[in-house]
Amino acid sequence: MISQSFRRYSGWRGDAPIASDDQSQLALFIKKAKTFKKPVRLWAVPDTPLAWKWSIEAGLDYINTDQPKKVGEFLNTRIKKATQ
């Protein structure tokens, strides 16, 4: 696994869209990390639904959270919407 602090790349709080400069830096890190063919995880990502959505869309292999029940509900809702 490749694991890195989210705060190394961004101070985003997960309550508004992520800044494009931060998004670019994170995308570059994730792309480079994926070349090693290992799962990619960022820790200290904001623990909000917007950040969980971003984590999925950014291609992270793990969502780092202190709220596993809420993340489970979030993911189940996404799956239900995708299958309707």
Q: Which tokens in the block code for residue 7? A: 């705060």
Identity of the amino acid at 12: W
* Model pLDDT for residues 64-83, shown as the tens digit of each residue: 999 999 999 999 998 888 88
Separation between Cα atoms, residue 14 and residue 12, nearest integer Å = 6
pTM: 0.90
Domain boundaries, the chain: 2-83
DSSP string, 8-59: GT----SSSPPPHHHHHHHHHHHHHHHTTTS-EEEES---SHHHHHHHHHHT
pLDDT of residue 83: 86
pLDDT of residue 82: 85
